[in-house]
Homo-oligomer: A and B are copies of this chain.
Amino acid sequence: MRCYTKGVLMRKLKDTLEDALEAFFQGDGILLEAVRFAISGGGKRFRPLLALLVAKMLKVPEEKVIKPACALEMVHTFSLIHDDLPCIDDDDVRRGRPSLHRAFPESIAVLAGDFLLNYAFEIVHDAKLVRILSQATREMIEGQVLDVQGGELSFDALCVLHRKKTGALIRAAVDFGAILGGGSDRERAHLLRFGDALGLAFQIRDDILDRNGDDHTKNFVGVLGLEEAKNRFAHYKNQASAFLEVFGDRAAILLEFCFANTLAIEYN
């Protein structure tokens, strides 16, 4: 029964989010068409749901969080569009569909990415959130620059890269939830450490599940080997969970959202 309730909650939250995202980009023209194509690609909405669930744990209604949550998804989508470009990862496929520069002219893909990054700031009206989002986005771009540069990386250097490229926006999502949820300084500090461990766990899981990554010098499985990558995943998952202990049972849905179906990774 509890599980069912959680499922309904998550479905409702995701529907609210999808509706909100869709509502931003109504209208004619190739730019909005491209933006809709990119943003409606069936993503997990991990970052916005994270912000929503953290705020919900702090007992703040979702109406207060939905717009900033959408901004997080816009920045994430911008980064996917530009990362897929021929001059960066040159990916033709994204989530089982053509990448944006394959479905539309490449010029429109570049500009749609720009549009989404900028639009995120158009809808975040709080100066503190603007600062958090822009600092995270800067780190993300710095991480992508490390990624496009050649060379083998040590485990530590790989952690630096992914703390920036993937982790920064995940930490920002958690921080959005903490700030909008009115968390105390102590709660925010715990949540930020949770977000940091979560970001690494998230990336290691991705690297374990996606065996097709071309460049194994930038991949946790490539650098650590599969067994050690699984150990590291378990380590960061446990760390993330430990940082939420202060919230007791209230963190249950958040933890389940972050780590559902990951036992298979640890024990397979």
Contacts of A82 in B (CB 8 A): 110-111, 114
Whether, in the assembled complex, A262 has its beta carbon less than 8 Å from a beta carbon of chain B, the answer is: no
Name, among A124, A133, A145, the residue most crowded by chain B CB atoms within 10 Å (CB to CB).
A145
Contacts of A119 in B (CB 8 A): 134, 138
Q: Quick check: B148 and A107 within 8 Å, CB to CB?
A: yes
Interface residues of A in 120-153 (CB under 8 A from B): 121-122, 124-127, 130-131, 133-135, 137-138, 141-142, 144-145, 148-149
Contacts of A145 in B (CB 8 A): 29-31, 108, 111
Question: Copies of this chain, how many?
Answer: 2
Contacts of A110 in B (CB 8 A): 82, 85, 87-88, 110
Contacts of A138 in B (CB 8 A): 115, 118-119, 122
Interface size on A, residues (CB 8 A): 40
Q: Quick check: B87 and A141 within 8 Å, CB to CB?
A: no
Contacts of A117 in B (CB 8 A): 114, 117-118
Say yes or no: A114-B134 contact (C-beta < 8 A), given A87-B105, A106-B87. no
Interface string of A12-32 (1 = CB under 8 A from B): 000000000000000001110
Q: Quick check: B88 and A141 within 8 Å, CB to CB?
A: no
Q: How far is the CB of A145 from chain B (nearest CB, A)?
A: 5
Q: How far is the CB of A132 from chain B (nearest CB, A)?
A: 10
Contacts of A126 in B (CB 8 A): 127
Q: How far is the CB of A116 from chain B (nearest CB, A)?
A: 10
Residues of A within 8 A of B (CB): 29-31, 78, 82, 85, 87-88, 101, 105-108, 110-111, 113-115, 117-119, 121-122, 124-127, 130-131, 133-135, 137-138, 141-142, 144-145, 148-149
Give the 4 A-B CB pairs with smallest separation, nearest first. Answer: A87-B106, A122-B134, A121-B134, A31-B145
Could you jot down 25 A-B contacts, CB within 8 Å? A30-B145, A31-B142, A31-B145, A78-B114, A87-B101, A87-B105, A87-B106, A88-B107, A88-B111, A108-B145, A108-B148, A111-B145, A113-B114, A114-B114, A114-B117, A115-B138, A118-B134, A118-B138, A119-B134, A121-B130, A121-B134, A124-B130, A125-B130, A127-B127, A130-B130
